[in-house]
Structure 1
Amino acid sequence: MRILGVSSFYHDSAAALIVDGEIVAAAQEERFTRIKHDAGFPEKAIAYCLKEGEVALQDIDQVVFYDKPFLKFERLLETYLSFAPKGFKSFKMAVPIWLKEKLFQKDLLRRKFKEFDSTFDWQNKLLFSEHHLSHAASAFYPSPYDKAIVLTMDGVGEWAASSVAIGNGNKLDIVKEMHFPHSLGLLYSAFTYYTGFRVNSGEYKVMGLAPYGEPKFKELILDKLVDLKEDGSFRMDQDYFNYCTGLTMTNDKFAELFGRPARRPDVDKLEQFHMDVAASVQAVAEEIVLRITRSLAKEYPDIPNLCLAGGVALNCVANGKILRDNAFKNIWIQPAAGDAGGALGAALNGYYFFNEKERTVTGKDHMKGSYLGPVFDEKDIQLRLQAVGAVYNVAENVEAMIEACVDALEEEKVVGWFQGRMEFGPRALGGRSIIGDPRSEEMQKTMNLKIKYRESFRPFAPSVRAEDVSDWFDLDTESPYMLIVSDVAQKRRKTMTEEEEALFGIDKLNVVRSEIPAVTHVDYSARIQTIHKETNPKYHALVSRFKERCGSPVVVNTSFNVRGEPIVCTPEDAFRCFMGTEMDVLVLGNCVLKKNEQNPRLALDYKNAFTLD
Structure 2
Amino acid sequence: MNLIGISAHYHDSAAALIRDGRIVAAAQEERFTRKKHDPDFPAHAVRYCLQEAGLTLADIDGVVYYDKPLIKFERLLETYLAYAPSGFVSFVKAMPVWLKDKLYLKQTLKKELAKLGGCKEAELPPLLFTEHHQAHAASAFFPSPFEKAAVLCMDGVGEWATTSVWLGEGNQLTPLWEMNFPHSLGMLYSAFTYYTGFKVNSGEYKLMGLAPYGEPKYVDLILDKLIDLKEDGTFRMDMQYFNYATGLTMTNDRFAELFGGPARQPESAISQKEMDLARSIQAVTEEIVLRLGRTVHRELGVDHLCLAGGVALNCVSNGRLLREGPFKEIWIQPAAGDAGGAIGCALAAYYAKSGAARVPEAGDSMQGSYLGPRYAADEIRRQLDEYGAVYRELDDNSFFDQVSDVLADEKVVGWFQGRMEFGPRALGGRSIIGDPRSRNMQSVMNLKIKYRESFRPFAPSVRAEKVGEWFEQESASPYMLIVAPVREDKRIAMTAEEEKLFGIDKLNVPRSQIPAVTHVDYSARIQTIHQQTNPRYYRLIEAFEAKTGCPVLINTSFNVRGEPIVCTPQDAYRCFMRTEMDTLVIENFVLAKSDQPAWEGDESWKDEFQLD
How far apart, in 2, do the equivalents of 1:4 and 1:196 lie? 37
What are the within-5 Å matches in structure 2 for residues 513-592 of structure 1? Answer: 513-592=511-590
Change (3 A) 1:435 1:86: same
Which residue type is aligned with residue 176 of structure 1? W
How far apart, in 1, do the equivalents of 2:606 and 2:29 lie? 23
How far apart, in 1, do the equivalents of 2:573 and 2:433 lie? 16
Whether the aligned pair in 2 keeps the contact of 1:26 and 1:424 (CA below 8 Å) is yes
Whether the aligned pair in 1 keeps the contact of 2:293 and 2:325 (CA below 8 Å) is no
| CA deviation map 1:521-577 (0-9, x unaligned) | 000000000000000000000000100001100000000000000000000000000
How far apart, in 2, do the equivalents of 1:362 and 1:424 lie? 19
Query: Secondary structure of the equivalent of 1:175?
Result: strand
- In the TM superposition, residue 604 of structure 1 has moved relative to its aligned partner by 5.1
How far apart, in 2, do the equivalents of 1:43 and 1:540 lie? 33
Change (3 A) 1:327 1:121: farther
Q: Does 1:70 align with 2:60?
A: no
Query: Secondary structure of the equivalent of 1:260?
Result: coil
- In the TM superposition, residue 399 of structure 1 has moved relative to its aligned partner by 2.2
User: Equivalent residue for 2:243?
Assistant: 242
User: Equivalent residue for 1:204?
Assistant: 205
Which residue type is aligned with residue 37 of structure 2? H
| CA deviation map 1:70-92 (0-9, x unaligned) | 11100110000000001111111
Which residue type is aligned with residue 595 of structure 2? E
Query: Secondary structure of the equivalent of 2:407?
Result: helix
- In the TM superposition, residue 355 of structure 1 has moved relative to its aligned partner by 3.0
What are the within-5 Å matches in structure 2 for residues 30-41 of structure 1? Answer: 30-41=30-41
How far apart, in 2, do the equivalents of 1:172 and 1:523 lie? 38
- In the TM superposition, residue 177 of structure 1 has moved relative to its aligned partner by 0.7
Structure 2 length-normalised TM = 0.99
Whether the aligned pair in 1 keeps the contact of 2:62 and 2:128 (CA below 8 Å) is yes
Structure 1, unaligned stretches of length 5 or more? none
- In the TM superposition, residue 120 of structure 1 has moved relative to its aligned partner by 5.6
- In the TM superposition, residue 466 of structure 1 has moved relative to its aligned partner by 0.2
How far apart, in 1, do the equivalents of 2:122 and 2:16 lie? 20
Which residue type is aligned with residue 401 of structure 2? E
User: Equivalent residue for 1:335?
Assistant: 334
User: Equivalent residue for 1:133?
Assistant: 134
Q: How well do the aligned residues superpose, as a CA RMSD in angstroms? A: 1.0
Deviates more, 1:132-141 or 1:122-131: 122-131
Query: Secondary structure of the equivalent of 1:5?
Result: strand
How far apart, in 1, do the equivalents of 2:122 and 2:483 lie? 46
User: Equivalent residue for 2:444?
Assistant: 446
- In the TM superposition, residue 124 of structure 1 has moved relative to its aligned partner by 6.6
How far apart, in 1, do the equivalents of 2:118 and 2:160 lie? 33
Query: Secondary structure of the equivalent of 2:208?
Result: helix
How far apart, in 2, do the equivalents of 1:236 and 1:15 lie? 34
Change (3 A) 1:603 1:92: closer
User: Equivalent residue for 1:15?
Assistant: 15
User: Equivalent residue for 2:596?
Assistant: 598
Query: Secondary structure of the equivalent of 1:35?
Result: coil
| CA deviation map 1:141-182 (0-9, x unaligned) | 000001110000000000000000110100001111100000
How far apart, in 1, do the equivalents of 2:390 and 2:375 lie? 18
Query: Secondary structure of the equivalent of 1:104?
Result: helix
| CA deviation map 1:326-373 (0-9, x unaligned) | 411110000000000000001101111233222112333000000000
Which residue type is aligned with residue 294 of structure 1? R
User: Equivalent residue for 2:79?
Assistant: 79
Deviates more, 1:351-360 or 1:184-193: 351-360
Whether the aligned pair in 2 keeps the contact of 1:453 and 1:607 (CA below 8 Å) is no
User: Structure 1 runs of 4+ off > 4 angstroms?
Assistant: 120-124
Change (3 A) 1:603 1:516: farther
Which residue type is aligned with residue 42 of structure 2? P
Change (3 A) 1:496 1:356: same
- In the TM superposition, residue 610 of structure 1 has moved relative to its aligned partner by 1.2
Task: Give the count of matched residue pairs.
Answer: 610
What are the within-5 Å matches in structure 2 for residues 30-109 of structure 1? Answer: 30-109=30-109
Which residue type is aligned with residue 156 of structure 2? G
User: Equivalent residue for 1:382?
Assistant: 381
Whether the aligned pair in 1 keeps the contact of 2:111 and 2:121 (CA below 8 Å) is no
How far apart, in 2, do the equivalents of 1:104 and 1:607 lie? 37
| CA deviation map 1:371-395 (0-9, x unaligned) | 0000001121111111121111111
Structure 1 length-normalised TM = 0.98
User: Equivalent residue for 1:173?
Assistant: 174
Structure 2, unaligned stretches of length 5 or more? none
Which residue type is aligned with residue 70 of structure 1? L
- In the TM superposition, residue 121 of structure 1 has moved relative to its aligned partner by 4.5
Which residue type is aligned with residue 609 of structure 1? E
What are the within-5 Å matches in structure 2 for residues 254-269 of structure 1? Answer: 254-266=255-267, 268-269=268-269
Whether the aligned pair in 1 keeps the contact of 2:160 and 2:181 (CA below 8 Å) is yes
| CA deviation map 1:487-511 (0-9, x unaligned) | 0010000111001111010000000
What are the within-5 Å matches in structure 2 for residues 152-163 of structure 1? Answer: 152-163=153-164
- In the TM superposition, residue 596 of structure 1 has moved relative to its aligned partner by 0.7
How far apart, in 2, do the equivalents of 1:28 and 1:601 lie? 29
User: Equivalent residue for 1:407?
Assistant: 405
Which residue type is aligned with residue 32 of structure 1? F
- In the TM superposition, residue 432 of structure 1 has moved relative to its aligned partner by 0.2
How far apart, in 1, do the equivalents of 2:322 and 2:478 lie? 15
How far apart, in 1, do the equivalents of 2:148 and 2:573 lie? 45
- In the TM superposition, residue 140 of structure 1 has moved relative to its aligned partner by 0.3
Query: Secondary structure of the equivalent of 1:105?
Result: helix
Whether the aligned pair in 2 keeps the contact of 1:25 and 1:373 (CA below 8 Å) is yes
Whether the aligned pair in 1 keeps the contact of 2:165 and 2:178 (CA below 8 Å) is yes
How far apart, in 2, do the equivalents of 1:123 and 1:429 lie? 35
Change (3 A) 1:512 1:259: same
Deviates more, 1:404-413 or 1:148-157: 404-413
Change (3 A) 1:123 1:53: closer
Whether the aligned pair in 1 keeps the contact of 2:57 and 2:124 (CA below 8 Å) is no
Whether the aligned pair in 1 keeps the contact of 2:286 and 2:320 (CA below 8 Å) is yes
User: Equivalent residue for 1:229?
Assistant: 230
How far apart, in 2, do the equivalents of 1:289 and 1:355 lie? 34
- In the TM superposition, residue 608 of structure 1 has moved relative to its aligned partner by 3.8
How far apart, in 1, do the equivalents of 2:127 and 2:313 lie? 30
How far apart, in 2, do the equivalents of 1:327 and 1:162 lie? 19
| CA deviation map 1:15-53 (0-9, x unaligned) | 000001110000000000000000000000000000000
Structure 2 residue corresponding to 1:424, chosen from 422, 442, 449:
422
Whether the aligned pair in 2 keeps the contact of 1:110 and 1:122 (CA below 8 Å) is no
- In the TM superposition, residue 202 of structure 1 has moved relative to its aligned partner by 0.1
Whether the aligned pair in 2 keeps the contact of 1:415 and 1:436 (CA below 8 Å) is yes
- In the TM superposition, residue 603 of structure 1 has moved relative to its aligned partner by 5.1
